[in-house]
Structure 1
């Protein structure tokens, strides 16, 4: 907190300094102009104009006198943010996540959408620690903190190096427990939304208390939860997370949920689309209706691909609240994993 505050104070000082120099130079007051001429002729490096010139040069700002006050303020803020981001991207460890999340395959703005939702401060700090790569894993202790550890192998599976990505999405010891609970949290949001949308039975008022039934149905829709589908020709992957039958529209929708490592989001999305193509063909032939699949993929810290929004918009009655709840569920599932493992940040 202190470091972040000092950086902000420094930026504020730089902005005020440049704006003050601009204001003085633009003034039409004779006395002010006389003082300005005196300072410009002075060799002192501590004058307002000298210091403001240094700041403008460091921010690559030229011809500042041609800007209005508002334009100059915007230009300074933009340059300061760009400079900070470039410094962050250059960091080999702390900049790894932020370099990735600003790549062409990731929707950067929506990946940070969760910051606009109500969330406990402890949860937010945990996600930032993940993104900054500063969780106190065995690998971090040995390689970064230079603390002697008996082994850098995972404390749970003893098979791979204990990194952040391994603990949050790649440990086989957590696959059937913590990862599954996180997966089902996201699935419950979607099941609750569909049930509410089509006036199907709900087990609770809020999604986080909702317990999906294997089958819920009425005259307009039917929703299957974690249900094996039967086809004339056997298909290995025949168990989508959710299946929605739209009776009036005579079409069927598959929903596949996943919360992989942030760097695996695009690949996992494509994997879900490809994996269920044989089932889509067979199930469509059996029922004589078009079948589509929607991958619902959120990285362990809420990262989404550039295509995710297009997929989610196909969900009946889709809205921003649904996206926020889906992303929040994935993030809270990750925070629960950290809490259960008792791993803090450094």
Structure 2
């Protein structure tokens, strides 16, 4: 599931680079055109009918068989160009920069996308990574709501951002952060106990 405010580039990016992995109709269309062009051109060397079809197709079909130099690949829809557009976004792109950094294990970082989490949970994780959760900072600076005071609802400190909520709120630190830490430590302890 994709959060409505998350980066749209993530929808058709493969899972192994942090995308949702939904098939892109443009890429499928291009690959079919490329495969059909290759098929017709290979057959035209041995069969007169295919040769005649290739000569007759002067932009009358999407294959454009008479144009030998025509490349149906549209770079706007390539994985690399989508990643670049995602990285260029000021808000959404920060996760892409961290994820695609040379010291980041991208495969391990995206392992949760292949797991058994509910689609809605994966969508919320993507929204958090893209920093589009409805925090006061998001409301004030992204949605441009002038009536919002950008202070944390729990501790009152300035800038209620995702980062602040996850690891910087003084009110949440004594309870929720400790509980989260203990839950992770419990899982690690259980796995170690199984193995040793």
| Corresponding position of 1:139 | 137
Written as runs of structure 1 = structure 2, the 5 A alignment for 1:41-80 is 42=58, 44=59, 47-49=62-64, 53=70, 55-56=72-73, 58-59=74-75, 80=78
CA distance in 2 between counterparts of 1:96 and 1:34 reads 53
Q: Give distance in 2, aligned partners of 1:148 and 1:85.
A: 32
CA distance in 1, matches of 2:195, 2:61: 66
Asked if 1 retains the 8 angstrom alpha-carbon contact of 2:37 and 2:63, the reply is yes
Give the counterpart of 1:90 among 88, 91, 96.
Answer: 88
- For 1:141 and 1:107, the matched residues in 2 are separated by 32
Match of 2:24 among 8, 22, 32: 8
DSSP-derived class of the 1:152 partner: coil
Q: C-alpha offsets along residues 70-111 of structure 1, whole Å, 9 cap, x if unaligned?
A: xxxxxxxxx821222122112121111111111122111111
Larger Rg: 1
Is contact 2:27-2:78 (8 Å) kept? yes
Matched, 1:184 2:182: yes
* Greater strand proportion: 1
Aligned twin of 1:38 = 56
Partner SS for 1:55: coil
Deviation at 1:130, TM superposition (A): 0.9
TM-score by structure 1 length?
A: 0.46
Aligned residues: 175
Cα 1:178–1:45 shift into 2, 3 Å: farther
Q: Which has the higher contact order (CA 8 A, sep 6+)?
A: 2
Aligned-pair CA distance for 1:131: 1.3
Query: Following the alignment from structure 1 to structure 2, what is the Cα–Cα distance between the partners of residues 46 and 92?
Result: 40
| Contact 1:138-1:149 within 8 A present in 2 as well | no
Query: Counterparts of 2:23 and 2:191 in 1: how far apart (Å)?
Result: 43
Could you tell me which residue of structure 2 aligns to residue 286 of structure 1? none
Q: Distance in 1 between matches of 2:78 and 2:159?
A: 38
The normalised TM-score by structure 2 is 0.78
Over 3 Å counting, the alpha-carbon distance change for 1:187 and 1:147 in structure 2 is: same
CA distance in 2, matches of 1:179, 1:123: 20
Q: Distance in 2 between matches of 1:88 and 1:179?
A: 31
